[in-house]
């Protein structure tokens, strides 16, 4: 088995990238590209598990690609491509549908949270989505997967599927992939509700910072963010009881590349308005250039399409080689 570190991750092209995507995933993607072979995928097959307007989808695929580049991914170092261009994802997805178990999928909390009481109306694709995610990872025999904490359960399922496949076919074909979840900022929470994660699907724009937000929008959103009326405490125990306040401290810590203790030492005893001013300044400094770069890149769509085409060619070489081996192990000609 290939023991080299191979990193794979994916982002859905379903709307604006936000601060949660950046701090929970993209920032880590960029760090890893200097340490390992990295494959980053715009997962458009995942996006259509919920209906997408076709022209919006095309734009969102390019916008997510622009987001990858604007946050610092280098298409010469990492393979950047869109999932539907490499048919091996869907092919291995089917094989893994036949390895994975209904009981395992029934435990997936994200599916339950997404469909709520409307389970009967959800697409079958949404239900088997975690099997396709396992196929994305295993198609490249990936060893490491950088994600936010919300994807942890899907990663555990992927590990179970890889182990079962290896056991069923008595072949050590797939490495068991390791999740890489940022300790400090694995879950960026909504600015309006410290118990809900920051998410593209939240109806309130004030719940999240989008990477394309202007300085004015960022300042307004941070000003309106829920915090606390007392002053900032000097320890995590007290802060933990105020999830919105803790979230602001965590965002500041992660964005400034400091430790939690350094942030607390800077702000303890002060009002949240002071933290909010500093946080706005930092967000404007870090996020606005990214948003500007996304907008600039989107002016040249043919360049973004070329990046995806080139990435697709490179991904296909690995995918086709591995798929041939996988099909042989399964017993196909």
Which parts of this chain interact with ligand TYM (CB under 6 A)?
8-12, 20-21, 24-25, 43, 46, 133, 136-137, 145, 147-148, 150-151, 154, 187-188, 197-198
Q: How far is the CB of 219 from ligand TYM (least distance, A)?
A: 21
Residue nearer to ligand TYM on the CB measure, 187 or 292: 187
Those residues with Cβ within 8 angstroms of residue 282's Cβ, 6 or more apart along the chain or in another chain = 252, 255, 256
CB-CB contact of 50 with 123 (8 Å): yes
Sheet holding 6-11, edge to edge: 79-82, 37-42, 6-11, 144-146, 178-180
Find out whether 25 and 146 touch, Cβ atoms under 8 Å: yes
Question: CA 240, CA 217: separation in Å to the nearest integer?
Answer: 28
Provide the minimum distance between the beta carbon of 276 and ligand TYM in the complex, in angstroms, as a whole number.
19
Could you tell me the two tokens for 297?
């890149």
Residue with the closest Cβ to ligand TYM?
A: 24
Distance CA 140, CA 293 (A): 30
Q: How far is the CB of 125 from ligand TYM (least distance, A)?
A: 12
Of 43 and 233, the one with the shorter C-beta distance to ligand TYM is 43
Catalytic residue IDs: 114, 197, 200
Cβ 91 vs Cβ 139: under 8 Å: no
Cβ closest to ligand TYM, residue 12 vs residue 227: 12
The least CB distance from residue 269 to ligand TYM, in Å, is 29
Q: Which is nearer to ligand TYM, 233 or 249 (CB)?
A: 249
Helices (H), the chain: 19-21, 27-32, 44-47, 54-70, 88-97, 102-106, 109-115, 124-139, 152-168, 215-224, 236-240, 243-255, 260-267, 272-298, 301-330
Report in angstroms how near the CB of residue 12 gets to ligand TYM at its nearest: 3
CB of 132 to ligand TYM, least distance (A): 7
Q: Enter the DSSP assignment of 37.
A: E
Check: CB of residue 83 under 8 Å from CB of residue 132.
no
**CB-nearer residue toward ligand TYM: 11 or 323:** 11
Which residue's structure tokens are 């091996």? 88
The residues, ordered by sequence, that sit 6+ positions from 182 with a Cβ below 8 Å of its Cβ are 23, 24, 27, 28, 148, 254
Residue among 63 and 150 whose Cβ is closer to ligand TYM: 150
* DSSP structure class, residue 122: S
């Amino acid at each position: 088995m290939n023991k080299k570190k191979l990193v794979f991750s994916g982002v859905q092209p379903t709307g604006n990238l936000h601060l949660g995507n950046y701090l929970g995933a993209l920032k880590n993607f960029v760090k890893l590209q200097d340490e390992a072979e990295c494959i980053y995928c715009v997962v458009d097959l995942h996006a259509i598990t919920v209906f997408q307007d076709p022209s919006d989808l095309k734009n969102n695929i390019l916008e997510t690609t622009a987001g990858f580049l604007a946050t610092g991914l280098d298409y010469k170092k990492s393979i950047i491509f869109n999932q539907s261009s490499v048919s091996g994802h869907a092919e291995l997805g089917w094989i893994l549908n036949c390895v994975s178990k209904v009981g395992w999928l029934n435990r997936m909390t994200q599916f339950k949270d997404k469909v709520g009481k409307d389970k009967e109306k959800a697409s079958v694709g949404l239900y088997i989505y975690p099997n396709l995610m396992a196929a994305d990872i295993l198609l490249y025999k990936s060893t490491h997967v950088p994600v936010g904490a919300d994807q942890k359960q899907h990663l555990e399922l992927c590990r179970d599927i890889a182990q079962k496949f290896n056991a069923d076919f008595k072949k050590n074909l797939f490495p068991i992939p390791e999740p890489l979840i940022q300790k400090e900022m694995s879950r960026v929470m909504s600015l309006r509700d410290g118990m809900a994660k920051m998410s593209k699907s939240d109806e309130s724009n004030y719940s999240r910072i989008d990477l394309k937000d202007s300085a004015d929008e960022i300042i307004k959103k941070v000003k309106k963010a829920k915090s606390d009326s007392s002053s900032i405490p000097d320890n995590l125990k007290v802060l933990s009881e105020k999830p919105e306040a803790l979230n602001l401290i965590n965002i500041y810590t992660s964005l400034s590349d400091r430790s939690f203790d350094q942030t607390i030492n800077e702000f303890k005893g002060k009002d949240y308005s002071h933290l909010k001013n500093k946080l706005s300044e930092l967000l404007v400094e870090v996020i606005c250039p990214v948003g500007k770069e996304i907008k600039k890149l989107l002016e040249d769509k043919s360049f973004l399409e070329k990046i995806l085409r080139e990435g697709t060619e490179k991904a296909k070489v690995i995918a086709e080689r591995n798929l041939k081996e996988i099909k042989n192990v399964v017993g196909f000609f």
